[in-house]
Amino acid sequence: MDEQLLHAAHTGDIDGVRAALAAGDDVEAHGEQQRTPLLLAALNVGWPASW
């Protein structure tokens, strides 16, 4: 379930992050490398054009 949030955060998909959170994904989820959605978003080098 939390994979949608982790993927969206990693790829910089803001709408995907919103949808995952609305669907109940856990903001404190950890991926395989123990990275949270916040860390994945911070490490993302492909910032969205809307920033």
* Contact between residue 7 and residue 40 where contact means Cβ atoms under 8 Å apart: no
Domain containing residue 31: 3-43
Q: How many CB atoms lie within 10 A of CB 8?
A: 22
For residue 18, the domain's CATH number is: 1.25.40.20
- Work out the angle at residue 6's Cα, subtended by the Cα atoms of residues 27 and 36, and round it to the nearest 5 degrees: 55
Helix (H, G, I), strand (E, B), or coil: what is residue 51?
coil
**Per the confidence metrics, is the pTM higher than 0.75?**
yes
Exposure string (b/e) for 19-44, b if CB count within 10 Å is 16 or more? ebeeeebeeebebeeebbbeebbeee
Residue 50 domain-assigned?
no
What does the pLDDT look like over 4-44, one tens digit per residue? 999 999 888 999 999 999 999 999 998 888 999 989 888 87
Our count of domains for the chain comes to 1
Residue 16 domain-assigned?
yes
Residue 48 domain-assigned?
no
* Contact between residue 40 and residue 6 where contact means Cβ atoms under 8 Å apart: yes
